[in-house]
Structure 1
Amino acid sequence: MGTKIKSKEIMSSSSVPIIPGYYGDDQSDSRLQKEAEAIGYPVLLKADRGGGGKGMRIVESSDEFQTMLNQCRSEARNFFSDDKVLIEKYITKPRHVEVQVFADRHGNAVHLFERDCSVQRRHQKIIEEAPAPLLDIEVRRGLWETAVRAAKAVGYVGAGTVEFIMDEQQQFYFMEMNTRLQVEHPVTEMITGTDLVEWQLKVASGAVLPRTQDQIVQNGHAFEARICAEDPDQNFIPSPGRLHHYQPPPVSDTVRIDTGVGQGDVVTGYYDSMVSKLIVWDKDRESALRKLQNCLMQYQIAGLKTNKEFVARLAGHPNFKQADVHTGFIPQHQSTLFAPRPALTPYQLALAALSLLSVEASKTNISETDPYSPFSTNTGDRVNLLQTRKILLQSSQGQDTTENHEIEVAYHPDAKYSLTINGTSFLCNAHLTKDKESYIIHGNLGESFFTANVAIIDRTMYVFCGDQSYTVTLPLPKFFESLQDQQMGGAKTPPYSSRVTKVLVKTGEKVNKGDILVTVEGMKLETNILAQEDGVVAEVLVSEGETVPGNSSVIQYET
Structure 2
Amino acid sequence: MVGKISKVLVANRGEIAVRVLQGAARLGYDTVAVYSDADASARHVRVADEAVRIGPPPVGESYLDIDAIIGAAKATGADAIHPGYGFLAENADFARAVEKAGLVFVGPSPEAIDLMGNKRAAKARMEDAGVPCIPGYRSAEGSEEDAATLAAKAEEIGLPVMIKAAAGGGGRGMRLVENAKDLEEGIKSARSEAKTAFGNDEIILEKAVTGARHVEIQVMADSHGNVIHLGERDCSIQRRHQKIVEESPCPVADEALRAAMGDAAVKAAAAINYRGAGTVEFLLDADHNFYFLEMNTRLQVEHPVTELVTGVDLVEWQLRVANGERLTLTQDDITLTGSAIEVRLCAESPADNFLPQTGPILAWRVPAGEGVRVDHGVVSGGEVSPYYDSMQAKVIAHGPDRETARRRLLQALDECIFFGMPSNRDFLRVTVAHEAFASGEFDTGFVPTYYPDPAAALPTADSRHHCLAAALFFHGDAEALRRDAYIDQELVAWQSANPTPTPVVLRVGQAGDKIRLLVHAEGGNRYRVQLEEGDDRAEHMLEVVPDGEYGLRFACDGQGGQARCVREGDTLWLDAYGATTSYADVTLAAAETRGEAGGSGQITANSDGKIIEVRVKEGEAVEKGQTILVLEAMKMEFQVASDVDGTVESVNVAAGDQVAGRQLLVAITPAEEE
TM-score of the superposition, structure 2-length normalised?
0.74
Number of the residue aligned with 1:512: 623
Q: Which residue of 2 aligns with 1:539?
A: 650
Of 572, 580, 583, 1:470 maps to 580
State the Cα distance separating 1:336 from its structure 2 match.
Answer: 7.9
Measure the CA separation in 2 of the matches of 1:208 and 1:458. Answer: 57
Report the residue type matching 1:10 in the other structure: R
Say whether residues 1:280 and 2:397 are aligned partners. yes
Deviations 1:106-142 (A, max 9, x none): 1110000000001101110000000011124322211
CA deviation after TM superposition for structure 1 residue 532, in Å: 2.3
Deviation at 1:8, TM superposition (A): 0.8
Structure 1 residue matching 2:117: 3-state secondary structure: coil
Which residue identity does 1:74 align to in structure 2? S
Q: Encode CA deviations 1:506-531: one digit per residue, 9 max, x unaligned.
A: 22223333222221223121112222
* Cα distance between partner residues in 1 of 2:601 and 2:588: 19
User: Is 2:408 the counterpart of 1:291?
Assistant: yes
Q: Which residue of 2 aligns with 1:326?
A: 443
Rounded Cα–Cα distance in structure 1 between residues aligned with 2:457 and 2:207:
36
Task: Map 1:161-200 onto structure 2 (within 5 A).
Answer: 161-200=279-318
Identity of aligned residues (%): 36
Partners in 2 of 1:9 and 1:330 — Cα distance? 32
1:112 equivalent in alignment to 2:196: no
Counterpart secondary structure, 1:428: strand
Q: Deviations over 1:179-215 (max 9, x none)?
A: 0110000000000011110000000011011311111
Give the CA RMSD over aligned residues. 3.1
CA–CA distance in 1 between the matches of 2:201 and 2:499?
69
Instruction: Render the CA deviation track for 1:482-509: whole Å, top value 9, x for unaligned.
Output: 76489985222232231x2221222222
**Partner amino acid for 1:523?**
M
Q: CA deviation at 1:317?
A: 1.1
**Correspondent of 1:245 among 345, 349, 363:** 363
Q: 2:32 is matched with which residue?
A: none
Distance 1:93 1:400, change over 3 A: farther
Distance 2:648 2:264 in 1: 57
Aligned residue in 2 for 1:362 = 479
* 1:227 Cα offset (Å): 0.3
> Which among 263, 277, 282 is matched to residue 159 of structure 1?
277
Whether the 8 Å contact between 2:349 and 2:356 is mirrored in structure 1 is yes
Match of 2:239 in 1: 121
More deviation, 272-281/529-538:
529-538
SS of residue paired to 1:388: coil
Bigger shift: residues 479-488 or 62-71: 479-488
Aligned twin of 1:6 = 121
2:322 corresponding residue in structure 1: 204
3-state SS of the aligned residue for 1:194? Answer: coil
Report the more deviating stretch, 185-194 or 57-66. 57-66
Distance 1:381 1:187 in 2: 54
Moved more, 334-343 or 320-329: 334-343
CA distance in 2, matches of 1:486, 1:238: 19
Judged with a 3 Å threshold, the aligned counterparts in structure 2 of structure 1 residues 341 and 160 are, in CA distance, closer, same or farther, namely: closer
Please report how far the alpha carbon of residue 542 of structure 1 lies from its aligned counterpart in structure 2 after TM superposition. 1.6
Instruction: Report the CA distance shift for 1:11/1:423 in structure 2 as closer, same or farther (over 3 A).
Output: closer
Aligned-pair CA distance for 1:305: 0.3
Q: Is the 8 A contact 2:595 2:602 kept in 1?
A: no
Q: What is aligned with 1:268?
A: 385
2:75 paired residue number: none
**1:417 partner letter:** R
Listed as ranges, the matches of 1:37-186 within 5 Å are: 37-186=155-304
Q: Is the 8 A contact 2:629 2:639 kept in 1?
A: yes
CA distance in 2 between counterparts of 1:272 and 1:34 reads 35
Partner of 1:17: 132
- Please, which moves more after superposition, 8-17 or 72-81? 72-81
Task: Specify whether residues 535 and 328 from structure 1 end up closer, same or farther in structure 2 by C-alpha distance, changes over 3 A only.
Answer: same
Structure 1, 385-394 or 214-223: larger mean CA deviation: 385-394
**CA distance in structure 1 between the aligned counterparts of 2:596 and 2:401, rounded to whole angstroms:** 59
User: What residue identity is the alignment partner of 1:516?
Assistant: T
Contact preservation (8 Å) 2:356, 2:633: no
Deviation of 1:323 (Å): 1.1
**Cα distance in 1 between the residues matched to 2:542 and 2:273:** 72
Deviations 1:451-497 (A, max 9, x none): 654213465422246x8553253574599447648998522223223
CA contact (8 A) 2:604 2:664 kept: yes
- In structure 2, the partner of 1:503 is 614
Structure in which a larger fraction of residues adopt helix: 2
Counterpart-to-counterpart distance in 1, 2:139 and 2:452: 40
Alignment-derived partner of residue 236 in structure 1: 354
**Which letter does structure 1 place at the counterpart of 2:286?**
E
CA contact (8 A) 2:540 2:556 kept: no
Match of 2:522 in 1: 411
Alpha-carbon distance in 1 for matches of 2:387, 2:204: 29
Structure 2: stretches of 5+ with no match in the other structure: 1-115, 531-536
Read off the aligned partner of 1:148 and give its amino acid letter.
V
Distance in 1 between residues matched to 2:631 and 2:493, nearest whole Å: 58
Once the 2 structures are TM-superposed, how far is the Cα of residue 247 of structure 1 from its aligned partner?
1.2
Secondary structure of the residue aligned to 2:336 is coil
Aligned amino acid, residue 436 of structure 2: N
TM-superposed CA distance for 1:535, in Å, is 3.5
Most deviating of 31-40 and 229-238: 31-40
Instruction: Give, in angstroms, the shift of residue 70 of structure 1.
Output: 1.1
CA apart distance, 1:350: 5.0
* Deviations 1:340-376, CA, capped at 9 Å, x for gaps: 65665665455433322221112333765xx6xxx65
